[in-house]
Amino acid sequence: MEPSTPFVDRPPHSRRRFLELAGSAVALAATAGCASAGSRSTSASTMVASDVGFGERFDPWIEIDRAAYRQNVREAARLAGGRPILAVVKNNAYGLGDEAVGPLLASFPEVGGIACVRVEEAVAMREAGVTKPIVVMSEEPEDAIVEMVHHNVLPSVWLDDALARLERVARRLGRRVPVQLFIDTGMNREGMPFRRARPWIEEMCASDSVEVDGTYTMFSHDLDFDREQLARFEAILAWARDGELDLGTLHASPTVELFHLPEAHYDMVRPGNALFGNYPSGEGVRDRADLRPVFRLRTRVARVERLETGDSAGFYRSFTPERPTWIALLPIGRTDGYPSAANETCEVLIKGRLYPVKGGVNSAHAIIEIGEEKTVSVGDIATLVGSDHPSILPHEVARRTGTSFLALIQGMNPRLPRRVV
């Protein structure tokens, strides 16, 4: 079996096939994948550290921290007892850029595969160099399933008519369609409801058109109810074992359950937030793992000017200093993902020193106060969000601006270049 075509001509009823493919892809990554992730030819929106001329631009960019992702993956794998990780890279990698983050995560040996929620995301990551298994955690129409099969991407299914659609796709392709079965154990968002899942599973397993590659559920993050959901899932698994039905690779634990529900770790764990440096709620979670911020939002100083007494800056003269002071213009604003509420609440790091945001955060500009001495020059790098000082950590910026970690990173403009460092 060639690792670059992991879902072609596969024998039926292979209990650990997904994990075997993940292992094959790891071996491939050791020789080619890591280099591909770090030095491949990239799209216009994704850059690597060696890009010539990148430092000349004033426009903002996002830096993706390889070492931080490496740390977070290791911590997740440790919490999972060494089980492989199905890394959730959904919604454009939570806003950080799936074409940069997907190949980076896939290059780590602990990562057995990638999960996302859009076909376009899966195809983009395939084309960006991801060779490991990719699961799309959404139900899709026939043409989209055909596209996924062509790209060796695993569809998820849960609707009542899924088998009929899969059989039509199998006839079109002249081959069986590998799928992941999504069982709803009580969240009532997606998945085949557990109360009527058994005959549906039997039909899937019996069909000559379908290969059940894996089965999973999603928890509500209410830990008491999570255990009830787990019991429901376990009942289905026991029934399937008694009937000698192969449900493939089992996975159920996103970040919350990775930390709090080890009995649900199964064959793989499925964290997203933890890999991006976001802890779940709960007592003592920060003592259990050392997660790192994985990105920086940066730009360069575009203008430095001195304000005299009586001068002002910003719309409606929002900043009027009481004494002469220097200010700097940053060509970055709320359309880039830096919140308007950062004005008067946040600081920016330049050459190891913090400067307060003054004069407003507009669509594409922010003004900072430098002080009585001109300690900043045009072209200096300004870090607005990042890991280099406690005041600009993503969670701290989110707290100061009245938002959340996820809302902050999901607001990053997809047009900003992503630079893996």
Q: 84: domain CATH number?
A: 3.20.20.10
Q: Are residues 70 and 191 both part of a single domain? A: yes
Pairing of strands 249-251, 85-88: unpaired
Q: Region 191-210: what's the mean pLDDT?
A: 98
Give the per-residue pLDDT at 92.
Answer: 96
Report how many domains make up the chain: 2
pLDDT band, residue 58 (cuts 50/70/90): confident
Q: What are phi and psi of 418, to 5 degrees?
A: -105, 130
pLDDT at 84: 98
Distance CA 104, CA 296 (A): 16
Q: Is the pLDDT of residue 48 over 70?
A: no
Average pLDDT over residues 304-329: 95
Asked if residue 254 and residue 114 are part of one domain, the reply reads yes
- Tell me: do 134 and 33 sit in the same domain: yes
259 and 299 housed in the same domain: no
**Is 49's pLDDT higher than 50?**
no
Average pLDDT over residues 260-283: 97
pLDDT of residue 21: 54
- 249: tokens are 């690779």
217 lies in some domain: yes
Query: 243 is in which domain, residue-wise?
Result: 17-45+66-281
What percent of the chain clears pLDDT 70, i.e. is strictly above it?
87
213 and 346 belong to one structural domain: no
Residue 15 has pLDDT above 80, yes or no: no
| Amino acid 123: pLDDT | 98
Which H or E run contains 184? strand 177-184
Confidence band, pLDDT 50/70/90 cuts, at residue 19: low
Query: Is the domain of 96 the same as that of 21?
Result: yes
Residues of the chain above pLDDT 90, percent: 86
- Does one domain contain both 90 and 174? yes
Q: Clarify whether residues 340 and 246 are in a common domain.
A: no
CA distance 151 to 266: 27
Per-residue pLDDT reduced to its tens digit, 3-13: 333 322 333 33
**Mean pLDDT of all residues belonging to the chain:** 90
Mean pLDDT value of segment 84-104: 97
Q: What is the pLDDT of residues 202-253, one digit of tens each?
A: 999 999 999 999 999 999 999 999 999 999 999 999 999 999 999 999 999 9
238 CB-contact burial (10 Å; exposed 0-12 / middle 13-18 / buried 19+): exposed
Between the CA atoms of 312, 318, 319 and 320, what dihedral angle is there, to the nearest 10 degrees?
50
pLDDT score of 360? 94
Q: Amino acid identity of 219?
A: F
Q: Please name every residue paired with 61 in a beta bridge, in sequence order, or none if there are none.
A: 298
* Weakest-pLDDT range from 25-39, 113-127, 269-283: 25-39
Rounded CA gap, 174 and 316, in Å? 67
Q: How far apart are CA 374 and CA 96, in angstroms?
A: 34
pLDDT at 17 over 70: no
Which CATH number do you get for residue 408? 2.40.37.10
Report pTM: 0.88
- Is the pLDDT at 167 greater than 50? The verdict is yes
Residue 220 is classified by DSSP as -
- Alpha-carbon distance of 179 to 391, in angstroms, equals 45
